[in-house]
Amino acid sequence: MVKFDKQYWLGIQVGTEPELSPRIALTSVGYSFSSLRADTASVSVASLADTTWRHSGANIYRLNGNIGIGTMSPSERLSVAGNLEFRSADGQFNHVADLKTTVEANGSANFGIWTRNIGDEYERLTVTHDGNVGIGTTNPTSKLEVIGTTTTKILAITGGGDLAEPFEISESQPIPKGALVIIDEENPGRLKLSHQAYDKRVAGVVSGAGGINPGLTLTQEGVMEGGQNVALSGRVHALATAANGPIKPGDLLTTSDVAGHAMKATDFVRWQGAVIGKAMSALENGEGLVLVNLQ
């Protein structure tokens, strides 16, 4: 079988006579069979000896080796030097991804950025090398940081039991966790330690006592930030005293004359507007922590 992979000539000789001149060059007809195999994708990609590229219907694939786009030295199965553009079938969405991937010694990718054009701005999804995820930011400082509005039907919080806000404290020293705090009338927006019974200025309980952490914190950057987290709703451990009688589950609690401590509310007239919450655990005597459902 002639491969037609080089130039061939047709020569004619009669008997022992010298070959007739000139020879005739073989041109397109014979070579067209070779070009069919070389230039037609449906035929050329799969010979039995080919172990690199194969095809299955309209798909082509590679079993071995790396593929490089924009690079002659691909170090991974697919190495891309530059940007990738992904366009939906209807052409409405244009996703431009600046792929920045670092592969550690164990072979796991640990950093990537996905961006989508929205006019002159971008939406970003970032995964950092230490496992933080950012949406709308390329520098997330927590496990999940979202710059923008988040919508969800159900939010399950498993790391804490109260809703807290950070408040500036008037005292020079931090107030103990579990202490009751009141509104500081002389310093608007600040709180201070409670010191008297049935104080209608009672605002909340400093969060974090007894191993119960804030499950949700509310703040606004540049406006309401800093200070100590004060629980305003939910369940929290509070410092308490049995000076006004033993505390039992279900008792209403208010401020006491012991700094930062709650006590059982027994004076109906005085407790109006001064109740911090309802006791969910008991304190028979002395001082200690009581679990409170804030109200």
Domains of the chain: 9-56 (no CATH), 65-146 (no CATH), 162-294 (2.40.300.10)
Q: What's residue 211's pLDDT?
A: 92
User: In this model, does residue 98 exceed pLDDT 50?
Assistant: no
pTM over 0.75: no
pLDDT digits (tens, 9 = 90+) for 216-263: 988 888 777 778 999 999 999 999 999 999 999 999 999 999 999 999
Helix (H) / strand (E) containing 33 = helix 28-39
Q: Are the beta carbons of 247 and 220 closer than 8 angstroms? A: no
Q: List Cα–Cα distances, 28 to 2, 8, 36, in angstroms.
A: 14, 11, 12
Q: Give me the sign of the Cα torsion angle 170, 173, 174, 177.
A: negative
Alpha carbon 159 to its chain's center = 17
Selected residue with higher pLDDT from 114 and 74: 74
pLDDT digits (tens, 9 = 90+) for 142-151: 889 888 889 9
Residue 121: strand, helix, or coil: strand
Q: Are the beta carbons of 255 and 197 closer than 8 angstroms? A: yes
Whose CA is closest to 214, among 252, 137, 264, 162? 162
